[in-house]
Structure 1
Amino acid sequence: MQLSFSKMHGIGNDFVMVDCRQRPFVLDAAQIRAIADRHTGVGFDQLISIEPPRDASCAFYYGIWNADGSPSGQCGNGVRCVAAWLHRAGELAVGDTVRLESPSGPVTVRLSGPNAVTVDMGVPVLEPPRIPFQADAAADRYPIEVDGETLEIGALSMGNPHAVVVVPDLQASALDRLGPLLTAHERFPEGVNTGFVQKIDRGKLNLRVHERGSGWTRACGTGACAAMAVLRLRHEVDDQVRVSLPGGTLTIDWAGPGQTLWMTGPATFVFEGEWLG
């Protein structure tokens, strides 16, 4: 199969972008896994297809697949790359605001520069059945048993489920063990993206994320949004926060429950290529 693609990243969270505006998306899970292999394929955290919209109110649809071939509902770094890709393709001008359709529903993006994008990430979902997460009622803290330890998490959905754990040290060796275990925890029936967050002050957070379907990642846009939202719900941060991940920094703005959350950050082209697998 010959497949043209663009390789992009958003602060280190990397993507293979596939143009499906004029042709259907035909890759199966095995083919996606083959392209994702960082030794024998191209390598990526997620593969993103850019397609005609299914919702007439949106300009384009984008599909998201993890490195293991499983589908994803949303990707904050990915949607910024979609906007930058559309700009390069002549579909979006700097200064434009456009409505795009994700697997989780519509999102609004504003192209503030050729490679700088602000995204309306929607209203964080806090109700456990909608995350989905097994809990009796919504709360800003939940105890959860992981490998014989009781952790305290925040849980919400940003189009995909997130568990957020506040820690004093992101380099603690226990996190390498706890991240994958929490990602696969039975109380999250669809799996969960696990974020470990270190609060620096009311306007700055440091974050590491273990993603379902992809593992440890250099950046996670929805994870940055989730971390900020959890600490905002606890009144521990202000309504604008800079979230630093191993690959770079995002700015998150959120006024609080019931309000739209906004994410701003870069999107970068790496190379164009063809897959001949």
Structure 2
Amino acid sequence: MSLSTLAGLRWTKGHGTENDFVLVTDPDGERDLGADDVRALCDRRAGLGGDGLIRAVRSDALPEGAAALAEDPAATWFMDYRNADGSAAQMCGNGVRVLVAHLLREGLLAPQELADGRVLAVGTRSGVKRVTAALDDEGTDGWFAVDMGPWAVPGGDAGVAAGFDATVGVRGLDGVPRPGLSLDLGNPHVVVALTGRGELEAADLLDAPEVSPVPPDGANVELVVPLDAPAPGVGALLMRVHERGVGETRSCGTGACAAALAVRLWGGADSPDVWRVAVPGGRLRVTALPGGRVELAGPAVLVADGVLA
């Protein structure tokens, strides 16, 4: 697929903890980019490069947006997110923050819509996500927090009690499958605890880990190492991730949530609700909310704009 067929397309490049995206503003849904287009744009050698593509569309301009508006009429913007391989994805926690930063910079959202604790509703394929302005861990402005909605353990109480419901084979880890716990964050995840930094660094995520039983829709796989608590009531962990349809990425927002929630479940009733998650691309904060919901907070950075020749 040649980018020449997309000549004149305006684009923005952004990232959230180096989980990077090509963003296309298409308010009226006039430019439906196909899988071949997405693959060409996200190609890191022949295209712009990215873990995925975000099309900013008004919810009333595409079929998927009808469900978002039915859930919350305030969700006037929809994140049409595609993985780098062109496949549609239900959700991307880092991507929601970058989309909001893009809409603000483009003047499509007014700054007061996020001022004074106001909540912004954004439509996604896994329901409406609610975004607020947030402080980072040092108390500085500039982050966004996203209520990612409800989460679940597909294996139910039995999976929680056992601590796992799958086995995962990862290259570089002596050929020994490790136990993994499945979590549903609107998209599927399997979280695997490793013994320490050495194993985390040794893991080879160029190829997709082998999950058994095989998830029907595939799954993101998170490798985690719990760390000592950095502060009272706050947990911490290291994470690497292989994202379905992409490969290893520098970060994954829903994956950070899944990782923190899994470690919290493994830790039992006294585990903290707030977790600092260090990924290769930076750091995120995950908070378990009442009612079985979870919040993800982190930065959003816009780095370049252009027009395809």
TM-score (norm 2): 0.80
1:199 to 211, 226, 230: 226
Q: Distance in 1 between matches of 2:287 and 2:79?
A: 24
Are 1:15 and 2:21 an aligned pair? Answer: yes
Partner residue in 1 for 2:164: 141
| Cα distance change, pair 138–168 in 1 and its aligned pair in 2 (3 A) | closer
Partner residue in 1 for 2:3: none
Q: Distance in 2 between matches of 1:10 and 1:254?
A: 20
Give yes or no for contact 2:41–2:48 (8 Å, CA) kept in 1: yes
| Cα distance change, pair 8–115 in 1 and its aligned pair in 2 (3 A) | farther
Partner residue in 2 for 1:264: 297
Give yes or no for contact 2:159–2:181 (8 Å, CA) kept in 1: no
2:78 to 45, 61, 68: 61
| Paired AA for residue 295 in structure 2 | W
1:106 to 113, 128, 150: 128
Q: Cα distance, 1:272 vs. partner? A: 0.3
| Paired AA for residue 245 in structure 1 | V
Give yes or no for contact 2:121–2:131 (8 Å, CA) kept in 1: yes
Give deviations 1:43-98, integer Å, cap 9, x for gaps.
00010011111233212111111111111111010001011112112214142311
Q: Distance in 2 between matches of 1:238 and 1:124?
A: 17
Give yes or no for contact 2:167–2:213 (8 Å, CA) kept in 1: no
Structure 2's unaligned 5+ residue stretches are: 1-5, 60-64, 136-140, 230-234
Partner residue in 2 for 1:24: 30
SS of the residue corresponding to residue 186 of structure 2 reads coil
| Cα distance change, pair 98–145 in 1 and its aligned pair in 2 (3 A) | closer
Q: Distance in 2 between matches of 1:100 and 1:40?
A: 32
1:116 to 114, 127, 143: 143
Q: Distance in 2 between matches of 1:6 and 1:38?
A: 15
Q: Cα distance, 1:245 vs. partner? A: 0.2
Q: Residues 54-203 of structure 1: matches in 2 within 5 Å? A: 54=65, 55-56=68-69, 57=73, 58-90=75-107, 91-93=109-111, 94-95=114-115, 96-112=118-134, 115-128=142-155, 138-139=159-160, 140-144=163-167, 146=169, 149-172=176-199, 175-176=203-204, 180-182=208-210, 187-202=214-229, 203=235
Q: Distance in 2 between matches of 1:186 and 1:169?
A: 26
Q: Distance in 2 between matches of 1:110 and 1:85?
A: 15
Q: Cα distance, 1:99 vs. partner? A: 0.7
Larger Rg: 2
Q: Cα distance, 1:110 vs. partner? A: 0.7
| Range moving further from structure 2, 18-27 or 44-53 | 18-27
Are 1:47 and 2:40 an aligned pair? Answer: no
Structure 1's unaligned 5+ residue stretches are: 129-134
SS of the residue corresponding to residue 176 of structure 1 reads coil
Give yes or no for contact 2:166–2:213 (8 Å, CA) kept in 1: no
Give yes or no for contact 2:51–2:246 (8 Å, CA) kept in 1: yes
| Cα distance change, pair 178–9 in 1 and its aligned pair in 2 (3 A) | closer
| Paired AA for residue 218 in structure 1 | R
More helix by share: 2
Q: Distance in 1 between matches of 2:129 and 2:295?
A: 10
Q: Distance in 1 between matches of 2:202 and 2:297?
A: 31
| Paired AA for residue 144 in structure 1 | T
Q: Cα distance, 1:243 vs. partner? A: 0.2
State the identity as a percent. Answer: 35
| Paired AA for residue 238 in structure 1 | P
SS of the residue corresponding to residue 207 of structure 1 reads strand
Q: Cα distance, 1:170 vs. partner? A: 4.4
Give deviations 1:207-233, integer Å, cap 9, x for gaps.
000100110111111110000011111
Partner residue in 2 for 1:35: 41
The number of aligned residues is: 268
| Cα distance change, pair 186–275 in 1 and its aligned pair in 2 (3 A) | farther
| Paired AA for residue 154 in structure 1 | L
Give yes or no for contact 1:124–1:229 (8 Å, CA) kept in 2: no
